């Protein structure tokens, strides 16, 4: 009788999934954990943390190796080489910044390690034909075009000024903005680039003010975004619209600056009120866990990790098979429908629709496209 019970218990034990039996998969995660972009990097880390928890509930246990590149391409590249050769990961999620992602992308095919970029915008990342490089987020050209499209539903602006950091992200985003504005017949009246972390923009902003532009388009990370808006208010720069190219203009830190963030429009990859599967629930769980609302960076990192880990696990950690799985797969989660396609010169690029949000009443509200809008846009801009 004892043997019968023991045998039955063994069969039941083998039939039930357990932590020890869960499919383990090695994944690398390169992020800016310290350094100037750490406030945004924190959002990506939080998104990945939630993904690891949700994957475990699905029976996928991730052996995650985190690497901090501090926002420097050389450190990001060294981290990737370590993950590829010493840690033998099945795939990599990251890096965050465009400069770091560009550096890592250049070596992905050499090591035959699939990487899934969650939020870096520079177009070239997926324009060089790399087979092992995939990108979830929309590239730089969409950051600017969606903002201008939103404004065109409200007005016919004639002039635009650009102020942006002289990084891969800033330069690539503004270059595409210029091309799009030219096609729309919007005249450029100022082109001002700056070194990231500059303490004083007043003279540059005064030059822009003298041109009286209808639109001011800005590309900056958190600290510079706040400084630009604070000093714009100080000198009385008041265009019809301030347009922020994602990044620093979409963060909790920027939103908290109530006297300067109000009515700023920014492009974003994600909001919690879109009707993509699980988006609202993700936002609710994220806020409860981390005591703050998620940015699009958190959502991008979450979905990127879910896709990479599920695909790698399904293919037993084999890098080539994981790469092929990413290429052929389709997903529909908190970032909407995802498919890595080749189009318009891009390779393995998800054709992701971007949104426009505006700060209204100390909250980010989705104002464009109309099918996702929760509020009507307030236009033209006025200081509080």
Q: What is the pLDDT of residue 44?
A: 98
Q: What is the pLDDT of residue 221?
A: 87
In the chain, which ranges are continuous DSSP H helix? 2-15, 38-57, 73-85, 98-111, 140-152, 168-184, 202-211, 222-235, 252-255, 258-261, 279-290, 296-314, 319-328
Q: What is the CATH number of domain 17-138+275-350?
A: 3.40.50.2300
Q: What is the pLDDT of residue 23?
A: 58
Q: What is the pLDDT of residue 41?
A: 96
Q: What is the pTM of this model?
A: 0.88
Homologous superfamily of domain range 141-268+355-372:
Response regulator (3.40.50.2300)
CA distance 136 to 274: 17
Q: Answer whether 267's CB lies under 8 Å from 371's CB.
A: no
Helices then strands, each counted (H, E), the chain: 13, 16
* Residues forming beta bridges with residue 346, ordered by sequence position: 343
- All structural domains of the chain with their residue ranges: 17-138+275-350, 141-268+355-372
Reading the block at residue 286, the tokens are: 């994220």
Q: What is the pLDDT of residue 19?
A: 39
Q: What is the mean pLDDT of each run of 10 residues along the chain (384 residues)?
A: 40 38 83 94 98 97 98 98 98 97 98 98 96 97 96 98 94 95 98 92 98 97 94 98 93 94 97 93 98 95 98 98 98 98 98 97 94 94 94
CA distance 212 to 159: 8
Q: What is the pLDDT of residue 203?
A: 97
Q: What is the pLDDT of residue 9?
A: 40
Q: Which residues of 358-379 are buried (b: 16+ CB within 10 A; e: fewer)?
A: bbbeeebbbbbeeebbeeebbb
The SS3 of residue 107 is helix
């Amino acid at each position: 009788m004892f043997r019968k019970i023991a045998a039955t218990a063994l069969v039941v034990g083998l039939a039930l999934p357990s932590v020890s039996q869960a499919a383990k998969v090695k994944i690398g995660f390169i992020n800016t954990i310290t350094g100037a972009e750490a406030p945004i990097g924190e959002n990506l880390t939080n998104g990945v943390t939630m993904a690891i928890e949700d994957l475990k509930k699905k029976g996928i246990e991730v052996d995650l190796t985190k690497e901090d590149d501090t926002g420097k391409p050389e450190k990001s590249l060294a981290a990737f080489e370590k993950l590829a050769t010493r840690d033998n990961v099945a795939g990599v999620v990251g890096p965050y910044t465009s400069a770091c992602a560009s550096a890592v992308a250049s070596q992905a095919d050499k090591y035959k390690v699939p990487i899934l970029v969650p939020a870096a915008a520079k177009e070239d990342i997926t324009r060089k034909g790399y087979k092992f490089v995939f990108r979830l987020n929309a590239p730089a050209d969409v950051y600017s075009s969606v903002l201008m499209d939103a404004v065109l539903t409200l007005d016919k602006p004639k002039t635009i000024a650009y102020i942006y950091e002289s990084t891969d992200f800033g330069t690539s985003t503004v270059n595409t903005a210029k091309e799009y504005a030219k096609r729309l017949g919007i005249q450029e009246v100022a082109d001002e680039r700056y070194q990231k972390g500059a303490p004083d923009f007043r003279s540059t902003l005064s030059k822009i003010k003298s041109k009286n532009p209808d639109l001011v388009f800005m590309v900056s990370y958190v600290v510079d975004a706040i400084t630009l808006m604070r000093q714009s208010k100080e000198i009385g720069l008041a265009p019809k619209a301030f347009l922020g190219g994602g990044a620093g203009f979409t963060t909790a830190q920027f939103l908290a600056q109530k006297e300067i963030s109000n009515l700023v429009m920014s492009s974003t990859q994600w909001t919690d009120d879109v009707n993509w599967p699980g988006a609202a629930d993700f936002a609710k769980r994220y806020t409860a866990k981390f005591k703050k609302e998620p940015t699009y960076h958190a959502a991008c990192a979450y979905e990127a990790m879910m896709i990479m880990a599920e695909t790698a696990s399904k293919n037993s950690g084999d890098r080539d098979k994981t790469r092929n799985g990413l290429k052929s797969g389709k997903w529909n989660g908190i970032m909407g429908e995802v498919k890595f396609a080749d189009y318009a010169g891009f390779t393995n690029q998800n054709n992701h629709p971007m949104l426009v949000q505006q700060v209204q009443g100390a909250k980010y509200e989705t104002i464009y496209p109309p099918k996702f809008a929760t509020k009507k846009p307030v236009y033209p801009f006025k200081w509080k």
